[in-house]
Amino acid sequence: MAADDKERLKTLVEGVVLAQGNEFIKVLLRRKHLPIGTTKADFVEHLRAAIDSGQLTSSDIEQWLHEVEGWGNNQHVYLYRMPRQLAVSALWTNENAIRRLVTGAGHGDVWAAETSYAFPEELTLTGIHYFEVAAERRLRFEWHQGVETLVRVPQKDFDEVEADEQYHYKAYAKRRERTVVRFEVRPGLRLAAAFVQVPTTSNEHESTLAEMWNVVGAVAAQSQFTEFNLAKAIRKIDEDISPGPMRTNRVRLVTPGAFVTYGATATTAAYRDVQDANDARKAVSTIGAFTGGAADVLYTAPAMATKDKDIQVRLDGQNRRIWIRAQLTETQMWSLLTRVASYA
């Protein structure tokens, strides 16, 4: 690997890679049989050394980033069902036909583009990819935007006296991170999903969705995708007390003019594990007028490394939106979405 390429990878390590969760960085280190350490500084040291030695290449990082970057981590997800006639359309078996549509819309320059390592100031379309995994066809649109965050580093604080005035300085480390926006179509599952890491409180959230559909519409119009009825899913998930990966921590059920809320005291517990609360909830199960307003659900994600973990997921029935706080892998994310879809 050329010296310039190595330096580019090192910059990537100190930006995009370091921005991922420690658990996910450890996966990369273990995969390449590298020393791990305990701190972010250890990770950087070992990754940089592996780049110098040739143990870690750009393709290694590219593959890993596809798996972990932009899946979860304060992400909003809009889930769509594809009608059967669209899902089985010959379009999804013809890569050349999709490429012609994309090129005709003026996006041919990002078709099958290499993984972007850029930090553009504005949200930028960086890749459109058509690929197969285990004979399942997928189409993915991807946008990136660079952001700079400040991370508190108390150990770097210091005091100073100047002209008999005492000053206390608080230190922050600058970290370059990226916002990732995706739209992915999985016709084999008859599902599609928009993944947006832009906060809903930002004016840019709606404009990001509009820009996304402007691009996706070159292949399939928004009207061809149907938003899932999450209100229905919330009630069904909450009523399902059989052993499984989803348990309700808190739920708000609504009916015209009123609502009821059930919840556990601890944010890591299912409220229906408390018998009195479970008995009270059963009374509502016979009333069909109630639908799901919102729910905080504990989801046991497929094993990341050596153990399962509960992910906190918020389902918003009114806005038909899912919010995931924790970072996931691609596999974990789609496992969650297909589970939610099965209830809606």
- Could you write out the DSSP letters of every residue in 236-280? HHHH--SSSSEEEEEEEEEETTEEEEEE-SSTTS-GGGSHHHHHH
| Domain end marker among 53, 68, 83 | 68
| Domain end marker among 18, 44, 68 | 68
Is residue 140 located within the same domain as residue 246? no
Is residue 219 located within the same domain as residue 88? yes
Q: What is the distance between the alpha carbons of residues 279 and 276, in angstroms, rounded to a whole number?
A: 5
Judge whether 253 and 240 are in contact, CB under 8 Å.
Answer: no
Helices (H), the chain: 3-12, 22-31, 40-53, 58-68, 84-87, 95-104, 204-216, 230-239, 275-285, 330-343
Question: Which DSSP symbol is given to 72?
Answer: B
Number of domains the chain is built from: 3
Is residue 106 located within the same domain as residue 248? no
Is residue 193 located within the same domain as residue 237? no
Residues in the chain: 344
Distant-in-sequence, close-in-space partners of 132: CB < 8 Å, separation ≥ 6:
138
* The model's pTM: 0.84
The two three-digit tokens of residue 132, written as one number:
């197969």
Distant-in-sequence, close-in-space partners of 135: CB < 8 Å, separation ≥ 6:
none
64-88 burial, b for 16+ CB within 10 Å, e for fewer? bbbebbbbbbebbbbbbbbeeebbe
| Domain end marker among 199, 227, 255 | 227
Is residue 64 located within the same domain as residue 22? yes
pLDDT (tens digit, 9 = 90+) per residue, 255-267? 999 999 999 999 9
What is the reported pLDDT for 1? Answer: 63
Question: Rounded to the nearest 10 degrees, how much is the dihedral formed by the CA atoms of 142, 148, 154, 160?
Answer: 170
Is residue 182 located within the same domain as residue 107? yes
Q: Report helix, strand or coil for 83.
A: coil
Is residue 105 located within the same domain as residue 62? no
What is the reported pLDDT for 308? Answer: 56
Nearest to 30, CA basis, from 22, 129, 102: 22
Is residue 123 located within the same domain as residue 169? yes
The two three-digit tokens of residue 59, written as one number:
């393709």
Is residue 85 located within the same domain as residue 209? yes
Is residue 59 located within the same domain as residue 81? no
Is residue 161 located within the same domain as residue 58? no
pLDDT (tens digit, 9 = 90+) per residue, 111-159? 998 876 677 888 999 999 999 988 899 999 999 888 777 778 899 999 9
Is residue 223 located within the same domain as residue 80? yes
Nearest to 185, CA basis, from 334, 15, 14: 334
Domain extent for 249? 230-343
What is the reported pLDDT for 47? Answer: 87
Q: Residue ranges of the chain with pLDDT lower than 50? A: 305-307
